A and B are shown apart, each in its own frame.
Chain A
Amino acid sequence: MSERTSRQSFLGPNSDHIIQSATVGVVGLGGGGSHVVQQLAHIGFQNYVIYDHDVIEDSNLNRLIGGTVADVKEKLLKIRIAERVIKGLQPTASVKAVPSRWQDDHLPLRTCDILFGCVDGFAERRELEIVARRYLIPLIDIGMDVQPTVEGQPPRIGGQVILSMPGDLCMACLGFLNEKTLAKEAARYGAVGSKPQVVWPNGVLASTAVGIAVDLLTDWTRSLRRSVYLSYDGNSHTMQPHVRLQFLKGATCSHFPLENVGDPVFKAL
């Protein structure tokens, strides 16, 4: 255990080695993903695969960790900001930075031992989960939204943290992804407009996701033994297990059978 990580020695005598051995993937480096990479770097992770193809804009500065006014002027890729944050804390880290849509260059994803999905939209979440399941990679999904309510009432901030473990319940089993939400999103496809986003809910969700990842790898709590679905209420500033979990005790996933792992292949008829 090094002096630098001495304050996290409760994670276990081998935790430095475990953390340094793991390859973490972060898809999306905006409000959520920028928090995630920063925390992973603080903890000591040394191997990264990161994806984002956007450049930082002025409207990102209210929440993108590591982003600066100078970066906006330079139209810097978000992935370069994340790389800078990581290297600032872990100069010898290996960072595979992919400045394209992950769907266009997904092979590096396969090298990940754990994936963080910090993407917008339900369809993209489903696509990422399909890849994670095919290559047996635990996926931790985070997301937040601000919904308008009736006139005179404050808007509601909601969010989720989900651990989708191969062989266990998926985001469809948990009821987070369903045909209704996917169809609704597809109907809105191409609609212009910016979604409200703020820094603190992303911070809460990202911190929780990183905590789950560290627990999964080090087993320091010795209690993480099932899929996680946490529901965030940004108005009451609380996070709790989603109510649906109580109806899923003993349930198994029928959407991703284990015999469907690996590359898809054509089958002779």
Chain B
Amino acid sequence: MTGTIADGAAVLLTSYWPVPDDLYINDPDVGARINGVAIRNAMQDVLDGGGRYGLLHVHMHLRKDRTGMSRTDMAEIPKLVQSFRNVGAKAAHGLLILTPDHALSLALLPGTDSLQQVNKIIIVGYPTEILK
């Protein structure tokens, strides 16, 4: 998967690591919430990558139309992304929200202070899908 940002930067995603079921917290206020171990594991993966690899937090919204960040996403995910930045400042980190037919992604690029919207997401494969 490729995401392009207005200034010509591209974020390339090549692998997906699911969070094991036992690292979720039972929280009735949200659809799903991961625990501190899951976050530390993710941070460790970034650290082990030696700054070469970034991480995008991926989750799904089940509404079949264009999506936005929920209030919980807005409150929690920037902090999560900052945690990834703390252990891997040279790589891009961010979030990817999928719906059945759209996607939204924000990325914190190296050397920048805020999340930027990814304006084009391409799912490379058979078929190759462009989400704009």
Residues of A within 8 A of B (CB): 18, 21-22, 107, 110-111, 113-114, 135-138, 165-167, 215-219, 224-226, 258-259, 261-262, 265
Contacts and interface: CB of A to CB of B under 8 A. Distances in A.
Interface string B91-132: 000000000000000000000000000001010111110101
A7 B54 CA distance: 45
A18 B125 CA distance: 15
Nearest to B10: A110
B12 interface: yes
A135 B1 CA distance: 10
Interface residues of B, number: 18
B131 to A, nearest CB: 9
A113 B126 CA distance: 13
B72 interface: no
B128 A135 contact: no
| 7 nearest A-B pairs in the assembled complex, by CB-CB distance | A219-B127, A258-B14, A225-B126, A261-B12, A21-B130, A136-B124, A136-B2
Determine chain B's interface SS by DSSP, over half rule. Answer: loop
A66 to B, nearest CB: 27
Contacts of A259: 14
B8 A111 contact: yes
A258 B2 CA distance: 13
Given A21-B130, A136-B124, A219-B127, A261 B4 contact: no
Contacts of A258: 14-15
B132 A21 contact: yes
Given A18-B130, A113-B128, 14 more contacts: A21-B120, A110-B8, A135-B10, A136-B2, A136-B12, A136-B122, A217-B127, A217-B128, A218-B127, A219-B127, A226-B126, A258-B15, A261-B12, A261-B14
A113 B8 contact: no
A217 B14 CA distance: 20
A224 B126 contact: yes
Given A111-B4, A113-B122, A265-B52, A138 B12 contact: no
A226 B125 CA distance: 9
Contacts of A265: 52
Interface in B1-58: 1-2, 4, 8, 10, 12, 14-15, 52
